[in-house]
Amino acid sequence: MANQKKLLILVDGSERAMQTVQYVGQTQPFKAFKLVLFYVFSGVPQCYYDMEKNDINRQAMSQLMGWEAQQKKIIEEFMQKARTSLLRAGFAEDALSIVIHQREAGIARDILKEVEREKYAAVVMRRRGVGALEGLIVGSVAAKLFSQLKSCPIIIAGESPTNQKLMLAIDGSPSSMKAVDFVAEHVGGRNYSIGLVHVLRGYGGLAPEEPDFMMPGEYIELEHNAMMHIFSDTRERLVKAGFDDEKIEERIVTGAYSRALAIVREAEAGGYGTIVAGRRGLSRVRGFFMGSVSSKIIHIGRKMTVWLV
Closest CA to 116 of 87, 150, 161: 150
Classify 101 as helix, strand or coil. strand
Angle at 63 between CA 60 and CA 67, to 5 degrees: 140
pLDDT tens by residue, 237-268: 999 999 999 999 999 998 888 899 999 999 99
Comparing 250 with 43, the larger pLDDT belongs to 250
For residue 132, the model assigns a pLDDT of 46
Q: Which CATH class is domain 6-156?
A: alpha beta
Domain boundaries in the chain?
6-156, 165-308
Global model pTM greater than 0.75: yes
Average pLDDT in the chain: 86
Closest CA to 169 of 277, 27, 64: 277
DSSP H or E stretch at residue 16: helix 15-26
Domains 6-156 and 165-308 share a fold: yes
pLDDT tens by residue, 50-63: 555 555 566 666 67
Query: In which band, very low, low, confident or very high, does the pLDDT at 217 lie, cut at 50, 70 and 90?
Result: low
For residue 287, the model assigns a pLDDT of 38
Q: What is the CATH number of domain 165-308?
A: 3.40.50.620
Q: Are 202 and 256 in contact (CB under 8 A)?
A: yes
Q: How many helices (H) and strands (E) does the chain have?
A: 8, 10
DSSP state of 52: T
Query: In which band, very low, low, confident or very high, does the pLDDT at 49 lie, cut at 50, 70 and 90?
Result: very low
For residue 205, the model assigns a pLDDT of 44
Which of 90-104, 131-145, 198-212, 290-304 is the most confident on average?
90-104
Whether residue 124 is predicted with pLDDT greater than 50 in this model: the reply is yes
DSSP H or E stretch at residue 123: strand 122-125
DSSP string, 230-278: HHHHHHHHHHHTT--GGGEEEEEEEEES-HHHHHHHHHHHHT-SEEEE-
